[in-house]
Chains A and B, each alone.
Chain A
Amino acid sequence: MNGYGGSILRVNLTKGEVTKEPTPADVARDFIGGRGFGIYFLFKEVPKGADPLGPKNKLIISSGPISGMLVPGGGKCDWTTKAPLTGGYASASMGGHFTAEMRYAGLDSIILEGISPKPVYLFIDDNKIELRDASDLWGKGTFAVEKQFKEKLGEEFQVAVIGPGGENLVPYACINHDYGRQAGRGGVGAVMGSKKVKAIVVHGAKSIPVADKDAYRKAGMALYKACKDAEGFKDWTRYGTTIVVSWCDEVGALPTRNFSAGSFEGGKNIYGPVMREKIVITDKACFGCPSPCGKYSRNKKYNSFVEGPEYETIGMMGSNLGIDDIEAVAQANLLCDELGVDSISTGNVIGWAMECYEKGIFTKADTDGLDLKFGNVEATFALIEKIARREGFGALLAEGVKRAAQKVGKGSEKFAIHVKGMEQSAYATHNATAMLLAYMTCDVGAHHNRAWAITYDLQVGRDKVVPEKVARVIWLQNFRPMFDVLGGCRLQWVELGIDRDLYVPALEAITGIHRTWEDLDKVGERIWNLTRLYWARENEGFGRAWDMPSPRFYEEAPTSGATKGQITKLEDVNKLLDMYYEQRGWTSDGLPKPETIEALGLKAVIG
């Protein structure tokens, strides 16, 4: 099939069997790849009510038709599963070189099923595919394991590996790859750990067939040229995502001390240029990316090397914990990667714990003697380790912020910053209603990347609650995740502002199917609705209440910074949801109406 590796690899861990089947053409037509394949297989194959960490859940790893191609940023891999963190849908996007290598091995998706009786790793070298014993790797950190594989098998093998966090089933454990790229959110690492799969190593030397070679080359070259010619190319490439730290600080979007404010008095010490100057040594790209956001750092203070930190980690491990030392943030980043826990959720949970401590809800008797004041670097390092190993006080935090707050009570639920049980990522949303709505309605919980709407808030008036804003969020939610469907990166469009129509001829030449962005946005909408239906199927009583944000954003105005005294009214939160549901064709409780399901061609899928 043009534009595809051609096969889906099924790995039955319970039986220790691997089988290949052809990639179904109709699924490729309707769901294209990546995240589209993920939700399709999840919905169809994982039975209702499956325990996320049990044998019935599956981990679905998918590339897309631009992965590994002559298209900028074709290095994104989608990891879909039922989330141990939320009990709903999880889809984590991982950059690097794994997705391209999968395709060169002829694989569009790898589906991990069942549970292995003992630790294993999945070995893929083109047609040679085996489950191999990983008992000696169990317990090791991600970097050590990746290094071991690269030394043994060669640099062209790509490695995805879990750390102790995944082994210990921390519900926000991640999967690490390429010494610093992650499938981060929702607990995909815990699912891999529950299946006793320590790592997947892949190498392939097949060519990917395309429909029209000349048109493909031409369209690909035009895309690269557009990236390199883009106005923002130089600055973006120099700083990557850290370019926004200062901006967020200025506009009050930089999460500070557990999201109690949006500006940080120590912010200047963690801005992008400071980091570039102090620690960055190499720009590190995902496959095929001409504008690498990855900044590889040498951290002299801690005598270590780490990829990053990028914006999210700076926000969550820096300002959100009151830490104004970029080298300390980089080291926290390294610990999270090495131990295999998501730095966003980890920073969020620790921020909550610090606030509990400062409010007297926790004392040293609870925290294993740690002085959990905001800004305490050593306590942060210690907690990351305790969380990944579920040791002492870490065991509570390893539950995730929602469950930890439910256990602790004493009003701490009010400042547990999450939606649907997923810890909010690094945008403070006291007065940014589009961004707030984006978090509330995001399909995995409080994650930013589906609709990064905060610049739009500033453009049209941040407290404005108008239908256009809602429409913008919906458009972004349909469109941006399409890059995860195509198996590529959105940042060339987001940050370099290249014309998205340039992808159209490339995709057509690769797959032989003509699709305009209008068609693609429709696919995005279909997928969005299917994920919503998945949430509803898996959670009794699912609806509006699940879309509510943390009360912090409608009850407590920050007392300092750019958003001092500013807040979103509860009434506006509800108005946002009303408008959102209406525009989506959902009921007032937030469920897709039968006619919406019908119009999107989802009836047959949901059965």
Chain B
Amino acid sequence: MRLYVDSTKCSGCNACRVACSLNLFGETNPKKAALVIEPQFPAPGIYNVKVCTQCGDCAAVCPTEAIKQDAQGAYYVVYEECIMCGACEPVCPEGVMFVRPNLVENTAWKCNLCGDCVAVCGTGALWIAEKEAATA
């Protein structure tokens, strides 16, 4: 399973990012979310949304194997095992792997497919479904 997005439907509300930070850290702070919303205004007037595809590239480079995969196929960070080396962030093709010591001192973070963002998104921009067989 993975999270999908249709950016054309996004209204830039950021509710997903609030829900995400609450899930990942128990905090209300969208800067600590695992989705990225890029507003493109005044032209062309759309939001570009980046979400985790659960490709696993981050897990592949983690020297301590702190990024593990769960039963539904989601890769998640075991916070205690992260050493903040920063290896994962640059390999993420979507730009949604975060190692930001100024925001979170002791761990990297990423989407763990909790589904809370989908629950709050009003526009239907987000959904969770099986990973497509062929992912580029």
Contact = CB atoms under 8 A, between A and B. Distances in A.
A88 B4 CA distance: 51
A38 to B, nearest CB: 23
Contacts of B29: 104, 205-208
Interface stretch (B6-14, B54-62, B64-72, B89-97): B6-14
Nearest to A334: B42
Contacts of A155: 38-39
Interface in B1-48: 8-9, 11-15, 18-19, 21-22, 25-32, 38-39, 41-47
Interface in A275-292: 281-292
Interface in B109-136: 116, 119-123
A283 B11 contact: yes
A207 B20 CA distance: 13
A292 B11 contact: yes
Contact of A292 (B19, B32, B116, B123): B123
User: In the complex, which of the residues B11, B46, B116, B123 has the most CB atoms of chain A within 10 Å of its own CB atom?
Assistant: B11
B103 interface: yes
A364 interface: no
A44 interface: no
A294 interface: yes
A343 interface: no
A281 B22 contact: no
A220 B20 CA distance: 13
A290 B18 contact: no
Given A237-B123, A290-B122, A298-B45, A285 B12 contact: yes
A104 B28 CA distance: 9
Contacts of A100: 14, 30
Given A213-B26, A290-B121, A284 B11 contact: yes
Interface string B73-110: 00000000000000000000000000000110000000
A225 interface: yes
A289 B11 contact: yes
A221 B41 CA distance: 29
A221 B22 CA distance: 11
Contact of A283 (B14, B18, B120, B123): B123
B18 A288 contact: yes
Interface in A68-113: 68-70, 72, 75, 97, 100, 104
B12 A228 contact: no
B28 A70 contact: yes
A296 interface: yes
A217 B22 contact: yes
Contacts of A227: 122
A78 B56 CA distance: 45
B47 A289 contact: no
Query: Which range contains the number of A residues in contact with the other chain?
Result: 35 or more
A420 to B, nearest CB: 35
Interface residues of B, number: 36
A285 B13 contact: yes
A427 interface: no
Interface in A132-169: 143, 147, 155-156
A471 B57 CA distance: 63
Nearest to A492: B122
Contact of A221 (B9, B28, B120, B123): B120
B42 A221 contact: no
A541 to B, nearest CB: 47
B122 A305 contact: no
A419 B4 CA distance: 51
A291 B122 contact: yes
A179 interface: yes
Contacts of A179: 41-42
Contacts of B123: 237, 283, 290, 292
A126 to B, nearest CB: 10
Contacts of A288: 13-15, 18
Given A179-B41, A217-B22, A283-B123, A68 B28 contact: yes
A224 interface: yes
A155 B48 CA distance: 12
A282 B122 contact: no
Given A206-B29, A210-B28, A286 B39 contact: no
Given A210-B28, A288-B15, A296 B45 contact: yes
A208 B28 contact: yes
Contacts of A294: 11
A108 to B, nearest CB: 15
Interface of B: 8-9, 11-15, 18-19, 21-22, 25-32, 38-39, 41-47, 102-103, 116, 119-123
9 tightest A-B CB contacts, nearest first: A290-B122, A285-B13, A285-B11, A207-B27, A207-B29, A292-B11, A283-B11, A224-B120, A205-B31
11 contacts: A68-B28, A70-B22, A143-B42, A205-B29, A207-B27, A221-B116, A221-B120, A227-B122, A281-B45, A288-B14, A296-B41
Given A68-B28, A208-B29, 13 more contacts: A143-B42, A221-B119, A228-B122, A233-B122, A281-B46, A283-B9, A283-B123, A284-B11, A285-B11, A287-B14, A291-B122, A292-B122, A292-B123
